Structure formats: structure tokens, C-alpha cells
Amino acid sequence: MDDQSHSSPDKLSITGPQRPAPPTYACLIYTMYNADGKVTARIANLAGFELTAATERDALQRICKQFKSHLLQKTEAGGTIDWIDPPSPRKDDEKVRSIPVHL
């Protein structure tokens, strides 16, 4: 083999054409345990998203699904996303969760 074949990026076509990376958004979530043991989750950087679930895991899964659905709807329609910047303030009894969401 000659050295030229090792230096040419065209020779590495085994991976095929590359797709563009999907956009990623930070879903900033505040969670807190209620007196009844359930968990309330709300999105801190996007208005109108709050729910209560039996567990924190369930709350995070459900609210991230809503977040992703909202972003897909907005981006596919060519709309703008009404981010809260800076995010809404955290209450003393809330924990912060930041989850990257890929569209």
C-alpha cells in the first residue's frame, strides 16, 4: 500500500454518508416531593408545563415527552420557542434536573 491511500479521507467510505446531528435542547426541570409522597415536576425554561406523578422517574419521563412534543410541533411549523430566559426561580424544596432532549 502507498502512503497516499492512508491520508485521503475519501478512502474511509465504510461509514457511509453522515447524517446531520439532531438538535439538542436542555430541558431544565424542577422536582419536589409533595406531602402525599407524589412528585411534582415543572419545566423552568418553558412556561406551561407542570405535572404530578407517583415517582420522580415517572414525572421526568412524562414531562420530557411533553417538552419534546412541544418543541417538535414548534420547529416543524417554523415557529419560535418561547424560552424563559433566565429560567423561573427555584423554590427552596425543589431539586434541579437538567435533561438533554434530542429531536
Q: Per-residue confidence at 15, pLDDT binned at 50, 70, 90?
A: low
* Number of domains present in the structure of the chain: 1
C-alpha span between 52 and 32 (Å, rounded): 10
| Residue tagged 412534543 (cell numbers) | 69
- At 39, the amino acid letter reads V
The pTM of this model reads 0.78
In a domain, 10, yes or no: no
Q: What is the pLDDT of residues 47-97, one digit of tens each?
A: 999 999 999 999 999 999 999 999 999 999 999 999 999 999 999 999 999
| CATH number of the domain to which 89 belongs | 3.30.160
C-alpha 13 chain-centroid distance:
32
- Give me the pLDDT at residue 5, please: 47
Q: Is 32 exposed, middle or buried (0-12, 13-18, 19+ CB in 10 A)?
A: middle
Closest to 30 in 3D by CA, of 102, 91, 100, 71: 91
Asked if residue 56 belongs to a domain, the reply is yes
Confirm whether 14 is domain-assigned.
Answer: no
Domain membership of residue 54 (yes or no) is yes
* Amino acid occupying residue 17: P
Strands 95-102 and 24-33: antiparallel
Q: Per the domain annotation, does 74 fall within a domain? A: yes
Nearest to 97 by CA among 49, 25, 29, 24: 29
| Range of the structural domain that residue 65 is part of | 28-102
Predicted local confidence at residue 22, as pLDDT:
82
Asked whether residue 21 is domain-assigned, the answer is no
User: How confident is the model over 24-47, as pLDDT tens digits?
Assistant: 999 999 999 999 999 999 999 999
